[in-house]
Every structure is written in C-alpha cells, then in structure tokens.
Amino acid sequence: MSLVAVRDAITQAHHEEWCRVVASLTRRFGDLDIAEEAAAEAFATAVQRWPADGVPPNPGAWLTTTANRKAIDSIRRENKRDDKQKEAQLVYDDDPPEPLGAIDDERLRLIFTCCHPALAMESRVALTLRMVGGLTVAEIARAFLVQESTVGQRITRAKAKIKAARIPYRVPSAEDLPARVSGVLAVLYLVFNEGYLATGPDTDPVRHDLTAEAIRLTRLIRALMPEDGEVAGLLALMLLTEARRTARVSASGELVALDKQDRGVWDGALIAEGHRLVRQRLAASVAPGRYQILAAINAVHTSARDGRDTDWSQVLALYDQLVRLDPSPIIALNRAIAVAELDGPEVALAAVDRLENKLAGYHAYHATRADLLRRLGRSQEARAAYDKAIELAGNTAETAYLNRRREQLE
C-alpha cells in the first residue's frame, strides 16, 4: 500500500472513528480527559505503525482496542502515583439506559455532554470540535482566531466543570430532548456561520474548513437522530447555503449579492440534497421549527434559475411564519428585504427604521438601510448608512462590497 493510500486511510479513520472512540472510552472510564488523551495516542500510534504494518482490516476496532489499552496504561500510572485518582476515575453513570431505543448511541451522549447548557457557549463550541469533531486545539484556535492557550483553557475548564458539577453522560430524557437538541444545533450553526461569514481583518472571507466541519457533524447527528425535523432542517439550511459558496465571493475578493451571483456555479448536488430534505420535512406535516423554515426560504432562493424569477411572495410567507416563532429583530430585518421586492423599498425602509434601537450596532441593519436608500435615490443618507455598515462589518469580502457600493453612489 502506498504511503498516500495509508495517509488517506488514516484521515478517513479519523473522520469516521474519532468520535466513536472518544465516546466509547468516556462511557467506559467516565472521564473525558482520559478518553481524549487515549484516543489521540491511538491515532498517533496508527500514524507510526500503519505505514509499516499496513492498514488493519477493521481500522475502527483496531483504534478502539489500542485506545482502551492506552487508557488502562495511563490509569495504572496515575494510580501508582496517587491512589486518590481512582475515585475520580470511577464511572458514575450506572443508570440503566433511558428507554430511547434507536437514538441511544454513545456518540449522542458525547454530543449532548459537550453541548450542555450549563457550559458557556464558547466552551461548548471548543469542546464539541475537539471531542466530537477531533480537531486539534491548534486547529480550533486558528479557526476562531484566538490563542491556542485560550482554546486549551476553555476545554480544560469545561471538562473540569463537567466533572465537578457532575454533568451527566447521557442522552436527555424525551421531555428535555427538543430543548437540548436545539442547544446542540445552535453550537453547530455557530460553527457554520463563523465559517460562512468569517470575521477578522486578515482572514479569508469564507472558512471552508469550518463550514465543512459543521456540515459533517450535522450529518452525524442526522444519522443518529433521523426522525428529528430540526436536525434535518439545519442540515438542509447548511447544504443550501454551502452550495452557493463559490459564487458568493468574486475573484477580486468581494461579496456578491444573491441576485448578482452566477447561478451556474452553484453546487447542484448540494442543492438537490437540500431540496430533498426540505421536501421530506414538508411531507412530514409536522409544524416546522426555525431551521426548517430557514431551509425552506433557502430552497425558494435556490429553485430560481435567475434572481428575477425568485418567488418573493413565498419567501415573505415563510418569513411571516418565522416571525411568529422567533420575533427577533434580525428575522424582521431579513423579512423587510423580501418586503422590498414585493411592496417596494419605501415600505421596506419604514419597517427597517422601526428596528433602529435594537439593531443600531449590527452591520447588516445599516447595509440593508443603505441599499434601500440607494434604491430610493436618497444618496446622501445612503452614504452615511454605508459608512456605518463599513465601520461595523468584520468580513473582508463584505467590506469590499460595501465600499464599492458607496463609491458608486451618485
């Protein structure tokens, strides 16, 4: 087997098996630290040995066995050093498994523990990417433009809290499940959005590594909870957004508005998969949650061959439905963009202006206002709004787009 083939096999095993290995070790030893360390050691051993010994017939089983052995070795070492450690390493989840049947997978326990609502959001993100996604601390730090030591601290602190406060390692009970699933999805959506609209002056406008990781983890959760409508909705939303990625930033590094994008370069396979998920959810005839509605809105956009063919009344109807679920000002702002297409920029501007005291610090509020004012020929006010938007925007491609728009004002 060639070295390239071995390297590919290791990468594939890392994608497919990391989470499973960490999850099964956490279950067995009741300790995230031991599980993480032993899993990392097992993969390091694979990197050393597979090129010479060949890829084992069942890489997952090999990795689990090796990691188990590493964990036991490390516990023995610790125990020799300090007997008190034993107590901390006892498995505390002795509960009989919750009667949840199909969705009781060890990986789900791990995901729910990492996304526990008692942890700070940034800790949940770091912990999930490390323990579930298998990203290294250095990779997470690079992705979020923070120091490695900061990410390390977030993960260490989160693991310490899980242990000290006894955050349980299990799938939540059926009655808590919807709220807890939505907590998990919020973590994944945050990772996706940070990739899709990366912030920071020196960063690429789109961080494909983060969007891809978010999609991969959402696919995993979808495989584990195939019946959950919001999981399907979030996956569809991500796919339909990711499908437009290459058309979204121009060769000169400028953000391209939806109506100006070259629809020919949209990813047809991702769109087809996203549409299929949206249709499945529509057929389920269960009241949709916010991710399903957002996915449906994106399905309408990606169904139009040309921006001018967009079914805006359908978009607006979906936003109306969304506003009833989530009366946040950001949803109201996006709804106003659909209103502009149907009722004209003047009506939309009135709706946007009503959001001022809630959104004055949000760049998209000023960018939307600027665009509506431009369309109304109110150049001076538009210029002031572009200035404000540019000042607040963190994404390099968006700043470039806003700058050009401002310069084109009459």
Partner 1 sequence: MQYLVSVINDRSNSGTPDEMAAINEFNDRLQTQGHWVFAGGLAAPSSATVIDNRGEEVIFTDGPFVESKEYLVGFWIMEAPDLDVALKLAAEGSKACNRKVEVRPFL
- By the rule CB under 8 A, 183 interacts with partner 1: no
Cβ atoms within 10 Å, residue 61: 11
Amino acid at position 364, single letter:
A
* Listed ranges 99-107, 133-141, 158-166, 266-274: which one lies at the site for partner 1 (CB under 8 A): 158-166
42 touches 63 (CB < 8 A) = yes
Window 301-320: residues binding partner 1 (CB under 8 A): none
Closer to partner 1 by CB, 180 or 383: give it: 180
Window 72-111: residues binding partner 1 (CB under 8 A): 92, 95
- By the rule CB under 8 A, 324 interacts with partner 1: no
SS3 254: coil
* CA pseudo-torsion sign 55, 57, 63, 66: negative
- By the rule CB under 8 A, 165 interacts with partner 1: yes
- By the rule CB under 8 A, 168 interacts with partner 1: yes
Amino acid at position 336, single letter:
A
Torsion angle in degrees (nearest 10) through CA of 50, 54, 56, 57: 150
* Listed ranges 162-170, 181-189, 319-327, 335-343: which one lies at the site for partner 1 (CB under 8 A): 162-170
CB of 80 to partner 1, least distance (A): 24
From residue 126 to residue 145, the character string flagging contacts with partner 1 as x (rule: CB under 8 A) and all else as - is --------------------
- By the rule CB under 8 A, 353 interacts with partner 1: no
Closer to partner 1 by CB, 160 or 360: give it: 160
Select from 30, 133, 172, 289 the one that contacts partner 1 (CB under 8 A): 172
Chain Cα centroid distance, residue 44: 27
Select from 164, 251, 269, 283 the one that contacts partner 1 (CB under 8 A): 164
SS3 266: coil
CB of 170 to partner 1, least distance (A): 8
Number of residues counted as binding partner 1 (CB under 8 A): 12
SS3 255: strand
d(CA 40, CA 261): 42
Token pair for residue 212? 């891809």
* Residue of 31, 35, 27 lying closest to 134 (CA atoms): 35
- By the rule CB under 8 A, 118 interacts with partner 1: yes
- By the rule CB under 8 A, 176 interacts with partner 1: yes
> Which residues are CB-neighbours of 322 under 8 A, at least 6 positions away?
290, 293, 294, 297, 331, 335
Where does this chain bind partner 1 (CB under 8 A)? 92, 95, 116-118, 164-168, 172, 176
